[in-house]
């Protein structure tokens, strides 16, 4: 059943169909939120908020665009608003960084030849997360949707409501900024 068919069913009173949208998009929305907040607990909360908002606003959905575009836009806006609220509170930022470190996938010892390799990998992962956080909201959005969600430039353009050329430009600037900042950090260390 297509997204449009499910939405029509829901709007016609069959509320049980909503679970199919959740099942279809839950993992993708979680990954998109995680790309912004880097904390599983916050990403789970934002994912839940996204689905609540979608449910509340479903009657406003226009059938002239893909549902995936609409739900991503909601998740991104909620994630950006969440980060804006958190920016002012240093304690929350420190706590979020600590949560982020503990929520990273566990490294398999057998994948590395020695403990130093594990430490270096953890340090690089942490450094990359911090550098991604330093990107502008638009660059971060384009980068997260491209690299974490593996969306095409056309899909990203639709979600961000900009041209494909603007997406390409944002991605190029994001990559250049990431390379410059990572290079600078590696030289410092």
> For the chain, where do the domains classified as CATH 1.10.10.10 start and end?
114-189
- What CATH code is assigned to 114-189? 1.10.10.10
The DSSP call for residue 113 is S
Closest CA to 161 of 65, 87, 48, 28: 65
Q: Which residues contact 26 (CB under 8 A, 6 or more apart)?
A: 47, 51
71 backbone φψ class: left, alpha, beta (φ>0; ψ -120 to 50): alpha
Query: How does pLDDT run across 3-32, given as a tens digit for each residue?
Result: 999 999 999 999 999 999 999 999 999 999
Q: Which residue has the higher pLDDT, 5 or 91?
A: 5
| CA angle centred on 76, ends 72 and 80, rounded to 5° | 175
Per-residue confidence at 144, pLDDT binned at 50, 70, 90?
confident
Question: Where do the CATH 1.10.1740.10 domains begin and end in the chain?
Answer: 1-103
Q: Residue 45: which of 4, 82, 88, 97 has the closest Cα?
A: 82
| Domain 1-103 falls under CATH 3.90.1150.10 | no
More confident residue, 99 or 94: 99
Q: pLDDT tier at 93 (50, 70, 90 boundaries)?
A: very low
SS3 (DSSP) at 94: helix
Mean pLDDT along residues 149-163: 88
pLDDT at residue 113, rounded to an integer = 53
Query: For 31-85, how does the pLDDT look when each residue is reduced to its tens digit (9 = 90+)?
Result: 999 988 888 999 999 999 999 999 999 999 989 889 999 999 999 999 988 987 8
Q: Are 25 and 47 in contact (CB under 8 A)?
A: no
**Alpha-carbon separation of residue 131 from 81, 95, 177 (angstroms):** 19, 18, 9
Give yes or no for a contact between 37 and 45, defined as CB atoms under 8 angstroms apart. Answer: no
- pTM of the entire predicted model: 0.63
Give the mean pLDDT of the chain. 82
């Amino acid at each position: 059943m297509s997204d449009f068919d499910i939405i029509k069913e829901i709007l016609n009173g069959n509320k049980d169909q909503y679970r199919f949208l959740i099942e279809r998009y839950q993992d993708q929305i979680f990954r998109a939120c995680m790309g912004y907040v880097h904390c599983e607990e916050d990403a789970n909360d934002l994912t839940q908020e996204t689905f609540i908002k979608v449910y509340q606003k479903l009657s406003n959905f226009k059938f002239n665009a893909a549902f995936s575009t609409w739900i991503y836009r909601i998740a991104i806006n909620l994630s950006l608003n969440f980060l804006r609220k958190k920016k002012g509170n240093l304690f929350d930022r420190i706590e979020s960084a600590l949560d982020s470190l503990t929520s990273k996938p566990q490294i398999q010892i057998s994948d590395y030849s020695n403990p130093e390799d594990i430490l270096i990998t953890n340090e690089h992962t942490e450094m990359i997360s911090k550098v991604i956080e330093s990107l502008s909201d638009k660059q971060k959005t384009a980068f997260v949707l491209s690299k974490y969600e593996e969306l095409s430039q056309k899909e990203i353009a639709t979600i961000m409501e900009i041209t494909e050329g603007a997406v390409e430009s944002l991605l190029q600037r994001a990559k250049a900024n990431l390379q410059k900042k990572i290079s600078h950090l590696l030289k410092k260390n």
